[in-house]
């Protein structure tokens, strides 16, 4: 049987680090709002400094700084507008002081004009670089979607939901993966985390997913599927050079749910433990009987995989996730603990469970997650009865 572990604080698991939809993060939104007001604050500060201080003091550096601050964050039109406002404010100030025709005033105005022109050039360079980055990101995201399509909502009589949450808007996609497949041997699934990021990670994900789908159909046991994945990654490693050949590993959980839906078998290769959520709110951590190395590290050690089995009652849900969930940290450095957070709660279905998790992680981190997060939830439908209670999302058990 699968090993039980108490719900609560657990040690941090060191696993391989794993990017599609991006939601506005509260911290980033506040920073951008401040940056957008900063040029006007600098111009206002320059005016106050020049008016409130003796003539020997000048606020010209603040006028010059305003368009430079605007350049990387504003549009071309707004960068030009900021430059015009800075030059106009400085010119009006000298006109007010009666110093407009003097050498010092002309020098200051020419300096601000020069800086404003430079800011426009910087804005164009930043814009072009952003367009190139967006193009590269779109290619990578399209490649990821090709190898990691969203699973159907119902597979083999089980309810299925999956999410892939990117850490940040400009992050290249990572190596988190999931797949679910109905096979002659039961419904089989994998959730994993390939070392690396970018197109190289997508390539490795394609190897793992392809090998999993083929082996799941052909192999009679989950242990044999794990062995096929090990061999596929070994072949992939032989064609890689340098550090990738040495550290090309994948943490993963393989699972198999019987056609009767009454039990789940699992093999864990160095991955965060799945959670079993009972319909009454009880939670069980499905820990392996002994720790195992990730896939792709057979050169270091080799031993037969031993699947563990757990009962899957009607109405229960399985949650698989990558370390982007369990290692999401708050501003105080506190890790998000999914087991402790979900204990005693009930959800109407797997999609509601994942939506609640995504929202809670964003709140926990303040929108500043540093790693991608893949989530997969599988539910065994509950027996329909006339007295079945209505479950509200995230409702605690009685």
pLDDT tens-digit readout, 170-184: 455 668 899 999 999
For the stretch 121-131, pLDDT in tens is 988 888 887 77
pLDDT at 242 over 70: no
Q: What per-residue confidence (pLDDT) applies to 8?
A: 41
pLDDT value for 6: 43
The gap from C-alpha 389 to its chain's centroid, in whole angstroms, comes to 35
Task: Please determine, for residue 135, whether its predicted confidence score (pLDDT) is greater than 70.
Answer: no
pLDDT of residue 319: 98
| Pair of tokens at residue 202 | 């997508």
Distance CA 391, CA 398 (A): 12
Pick 178 or 139 by higher pLDDT: 178
Instruction: Choose between 163 and 101: higher pLDDT.
Output: 163
In the beta sheet, which residues pair with residue 275?
A: 285, 319
The arithmetic mean of pLDDT across residues 45-53, rounded, is 82
User: Mean pLDDT throughout 327-344?
Assistant: 91
Listed range (56-60, 335-339, 390-394) with the worst mean pLDDT: 390-394
Q: In the structure, what pLDDT confidence band is assigned to residue 36 with cuts at 50, 70 and 90?
A: confident
How confident is the model at residue 383, as a pLDDT? 72
Q: Give the Cα separation of 339 and 345 in Å (integer).
A: 11
**All structural domains of the chain:** 26-139 (no CATH), 151-396 (3.60.40.10)
Q: C-alpha distances in angstroms, 94 versus 102, 333, 357? A: 9, 51, 58
**C-beta separation of 66 from 86 below 8 A:** yes
pLDDT score of 266 more than 60: yes
Helix axes 76-97, 103-147, angle to 10 degrees: 160
Q: Which residue has the tokens 């061999």?
A: 231
Position 239 confidence tier, pLDDT thresholds 50, 70, 90: low
Question: What's the pLDDT at 342?
Answer: 95
DSSP, collapsed to helix, strand or coil, labels residue 260 as coil
Count the neighbouring beta carbons within 10 Å of the beta carbon of residue 391. Answer: 17
What are the backbone angles phi and psi of residue 176, rounded to the nearest 5°? -70, 145
pLDDT cut 70: percent of the chain above it: 76
pLDDT higher than threshold 70 for residue 136? no
Higher pLDDT, 87 or 16: 87
Instruction: Round the average pLDDT of the chain to a whole number and report it.
Output: 81
Q: In the predicted model, is pLDDT for residue 168 greater than 80?
A: no
Q: Are 171 and 19 in contact (CB under 8 A)?
A: yes
Its pTM stands at 0.67
Name the residue among 187, 204, 186 with its Cα closest to residue 195: 204
What is the spatial order of strands in the sheet that 263-269 belongs to? 174-183, 186-197, 250-257, 263-269, 308-311
65-94 pLDDT per residue, tens: 888 888 888 888 988 998 899 888 888 888
Mean of the pLDDT values across residues 244-264? Answer: 84
Q: Which residues, 6 or more positions from 224, have their beta carbon under 8 angstroms from its beta carbon? A: 215
Q: What DSSP element (H or E) covers 6?
A: none
Structure confidence at residue 10 as a pLDDT band (50, 70, 90):
very low
List, as one string, the DSSP characters of 316-352. Answer: -EEEEE-HHHHT-B-TT-PBP-HHHHHTTEE-SSHHH
**What is the number of helices (H) and of strands (E) in the chain?**
10, 13
Residue pair 188/159 in contact by the 8 Å Cβ criterion: no
The pLDDT score that the predictor gives to residue 18 is 33
pLDDT of residue 157: 94
Residue 79 contacts residue 123 (beta carbons within 8 Å): yes
CA distances to 144, 154, 162, 266, 325 from 159, in Å = 23, 5, 11, 18, 21
- Examine the pLDDT at 26 and tell me if it is beyond 80: no
Q: Give the pLDDT of residue 241.
A: 55
Alpha-carbon distance 356 to 277, whole Å?
Answer: 14
- pLDDT computed for residue 276 by the predictor: 97
Residue 19, SS3? Answer: coil
Q: Which residue in 355, 360, 268, 284 sits closest to 316, CA to CA?
A: 284
């Amino acid at each position: 049987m699968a090993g039980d572990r108490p719900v609560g604080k657990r040690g941090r698991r060191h696993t391989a680090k794993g990017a599609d939809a991006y939601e506005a993060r509260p911290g980033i939104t506040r920073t951008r709002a401040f940056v957008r007001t900063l040029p006007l604050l600098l111009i206002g500060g320059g005016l106050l400094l020049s008016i409130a201080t003796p003539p020997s003091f000048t606020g010209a550096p603040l006028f010059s700084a305003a368009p430079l601050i605007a350049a990387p964050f504003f549009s071309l039109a707004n960068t030009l507008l900021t430059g015009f406002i800075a030059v106009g404010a400085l010119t009006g100030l000298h006109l007010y002081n009666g110093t407009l025709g003097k050498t010092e005033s002309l020098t200051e105005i020419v300096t601000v004009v020069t800086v404003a022109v430079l800011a426009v050039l910087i804005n164009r360079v930043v814009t072009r670089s952003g367009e190139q980055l967006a193009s590269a990101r779109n290619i990578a995201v399209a490649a990821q979607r090709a190898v990691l399509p969203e699973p159907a909502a119902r597979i083999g009589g089980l309810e299925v939901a999956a999410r892939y949450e990117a850490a940040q808007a400009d992050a290249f996609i990572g190596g988190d993966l999931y797949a679910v497949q109905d096979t002659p041997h039961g419904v089989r699934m994998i959730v994993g985390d390939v070392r690396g990021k970018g197109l190289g990670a997508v390539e490795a994900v394609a190897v793992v997913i392809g090998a999993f789908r083929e082996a799941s159909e052909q192999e009679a046991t989950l242990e044999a599927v794990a062995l096929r994945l090990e061999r596929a990654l070994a072949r992939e490693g032989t064609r890689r050079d340098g550090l990738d050949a040495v550290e090309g590993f994948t943490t993963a959980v393989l699972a198999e749910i019987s056609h009767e839906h009454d039990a789940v078998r699992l093999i864990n290769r160095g991955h965060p433990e799945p959670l079993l959520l009972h319909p009454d709110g009880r939670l069980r951590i499905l820990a392996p009987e002994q720790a195992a190395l990730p896939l792709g590290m057979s050169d270091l050690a080799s031993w037969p995989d031993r699947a563990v089995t757990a009962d899957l009652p009607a109405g229960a849900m399985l949650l698989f996730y990558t370390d982007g969930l369990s290692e999401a940290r708050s501003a105080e450095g506190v890790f998000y603990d999914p087991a402790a957070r979900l204990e005693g709660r009930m959800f109407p279905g797997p999609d509601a469970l994942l939506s609640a998790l995504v929202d809670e992680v964003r709140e926990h981190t303040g929108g500043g997650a540093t790693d991608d997060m893949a989530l997969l939830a599988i539910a065994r439908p509950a027996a329909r009865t006339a007295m079945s209670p209505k479950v509200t999302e995230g409702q605690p058990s009685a």
